[in-house]
Amino acid sequence: MQGSFRVVAIGLILLLTASYLPYHNMKTPENLTINLVEKPQILQANFDHNESFSVNSGDYYSIQTNCITCSSTLSINGAELAANQQNYSGQIIEDGVLELTINNPNLEQFSPSYLVTINDSFANNRPSPNSAFSLHDPHICEVADQCVDSNSPILASQRDYITEDEGRIISGVTADEQSDYIGLLVTPGETIEFSLEHSSADIAVAAYFQNSTTESDLGELFASITTHNFANQPNVEFITFEQAGRLIIKIDSATAETIWSIGVILHQLSGPKTAEINHASSLCGHNTATLMFANNDTTALIFTAEHLAVDYSYQSLIEGNWVSTGSGVFIPNVEQHVFPLPTSNAVRLILHAPVFCLQTASTSFGDANSGNEAPSLPPILSTTDNSSWPILDVYGVTTTGEFTHSIRDTSDVFRIEIDAWEDSVHFIMLEVSGDINQFEIELIEKNQDDWSESQTKVKTRALGKLSVAMEVSRGTHFFRVSIINNSVNNSWGDYTPPTKYSIMSTYELVEEGEEPWFPPDENAEKWGEIARWFMGALFLAPAVYLGISQTRKKIYARNLLTKQQRLDWLKNRLDSGVSSRKNRRDLARSLDAVATLDWDDACSAWGEPDLSYRTENVAIAGWRLDPRITKESEAWPIIVGIYIIDGNWEIAALRFDSPEGKAWEIKSVTPRFLFSGFEVFLDTMNHGNKTFISVELTGEAKSVDIELNGRLNGEPYACRAVKSLARHEEE
């Protein structure tokens, strides 16, 4: 049967859980086998299960039901071939449909395994190292993280789409007790994953490595003295190659016409890559992997090997150089910590295992939520950059810290910053909680001039508490927490649970002396100047607006003065059809503008007054308006002007009396003044003040008396025009 082989896998339904993991290396050909105690609980629990296969004469079939309590029947084209067997195998003698019927009255969970294949033409003799030989193209796993099934106890590759993975399944039939040989091309660093998928009888699978001149016997990969399928006996074998050549697989059976299939996957060597710590994510691969993590020196990486142990070593990046830090074995299903060296900013992890999957996480062991590990001693010099000493907030805030035994941390020093007046008195009390029987604390006051220790207080537990109090000066001081008689004895990097503690602070301030002045920084001066200009512009904006408005009023008033007889002009506009609303707007504008003119000029701008009254203190003038300009129908519009010649008026009011009949009622006033009934409230009117208002009156009287009353220079005062203003001109 020498020659090229042909493989056709028509039906292969195999589901994965795990049984054992043999590991093969080119240098150590021994096999390592791990047997699982539990069998998988799988798939089929239906009362009836049927399968059918299109077959041709000469095909071979092997069907294993894997169901102990089931009854079954195998038939071809309706003719029964066999019944109630767990293992059906043989050769098809006619074209047609091969049918399997399984009855499962006990609803047993089982996973049947099917293999139907044509007769193969694999080589039956092992080639010599330098002879030509047909090679099989195995299925290649492109991305390791996506191939490994992290739920599999043997970390076999994913099997969801096993029949669709081209080159993954190789099947055949041994004839006349002769061996079948299969060749695979391999290169350095590659890992070949093998699995024995199905066998209808006893079988042995062995491997040989050949280069152009020599051959190495890699020993037996799998052996079974009876039927076998992956669903019942999950298995996997990994072989890693350190040199280029070819792998020869030998399939052997003592039983003639043994129907078999194996799975072959090629895993290529992956180069170094940057990885991120994502909680609940997995990092998987084969053979060896170099992973780099960017993290600070107070973050410990946490790895949990899934199912199988993984050898590792790691290095820390310090000032551009990788420094060897530690090594060990990740034990399956146990969280293990990797601690970086101080001042490092990255970790490089190197893994070695036939196959691996790691769960990743991280934890910070910095003190006071600063991201820094508190130093063990205060800074020696005042010029030392003390930013790496975590700040202890004394203003009633609880600060937390820990002694990270894995890095031999036995003392933490915190920085205290006091900023207040020069001669102020500062009282600090610090209380530590935790395993205080092991702790010693020290409060250190520094002399800010020569950096010597002005005073120190060292305390241990007393009366069930651990606290210290001191009066300190303004400036920088330090507080130390230490472990005394530390009983933890471990190598650096070996994980030991940390000892945690909390610091509660109390602070009292008595301000004495003069309040200090601190010059502003450049940014404060820059933005302060911008803010002053901006706020100044905002404050000036109303004044500018008022100035512009007043100027426009005066210009408008001068235009009115040149035209004069403003009331006749308004009447003519009404006659010409201009709306009363537009005329009211022009009137309101004119009332405001005319008040900026001299009294005589203002009066002449309106025209000859219909009412005029003058004393040594006040002048009053009145004009009738065209009734068509009013808002209210039947209302009588008039204009009243008031000029304060001398004195200052307070709570001034303009009163409109009816000489006869019912009192007048004011309907509207322009500009807006407060009014009620027949009075308009003008409030305060000072010397030289000129006010013109338009009033709409409703009532039945034929004239109105106009009176101004209030307090003149603090004394009650009233003046009334001696003449009434008639409603109609003929009166």
Average pLDDT score over residue span 217-225: 90
Which parts of 135-189 fold into alpha helices (H)?
144-147
CATH of the domain at 431: 2.60.120.380
SS3 readout for 532-584: HHHHHHHHHHHHHHHHHHHHHHHHHHHHHHHHCCHHHHHHHHHHCCCCHHHHH
Give me the pLDDT at residue 730, please. Answer: 56
CATH of the domain at 135: 2.60.120.680
pLDDT of residue 676 exceeding 70, the answer is yes
* In a shared domain, residues 96 and 213: yes
pLDDT in tens, 408-446: 888 999 999 888 766 677 888 999 998 888 899 999 998
Q: How many structural domains does the chain have? A: 4
Residue 14 covered by a domain: no
Residue of 138, 246, 135 lying closest to 194 (CA atoms): 138
Sheet holding 79-83, edge to edge: 48-55, 96-103, 71-76, 79-83
Give me the pLDDT at residue 517, please. Answer: 56
Write b or e for each residue in 19-55: b if 16 or more Cβ atoms lie within 10 A of its Cβ, otherwise e: bbbbbbbeeeeebeeeeeeeebebebeeeebeeebeb
Residue 331 covered by a domain: yes
Give me the pLDDT at residue 578, please. Answer: 67
CATH of the domain at 669: 2.60.40.10
Measure Cα distances from 375 to 383, 466, 681 in Å.
17, 21, 79
**For all residues of the chain together, what is the average pLDDT?**
82
Residue 703 covered by a domain: yes
Residue 554 covered by a domain: no
Average pLDDT score over residue span 498-527: 76
Range of the domain at 404: 399-509
Percent of the chain with pLDDT over 70: 87
pTM: 0.61
Measure Cα distances from 454 to 76, 412, 448 in Å.
102, 21, 9
* In a shared domain, residues 441 and 301: no
Domain boundary among 337, 364, 391: 364
* In a shared domain, residues 331 and 408: no
Average pLDDT score over residue span 472-479: 89
Sheet holding 453-459, edge to edge: 411-418, 475-483, 439-446, 453-459
Average pLDDT score over residue span 156-161: 82
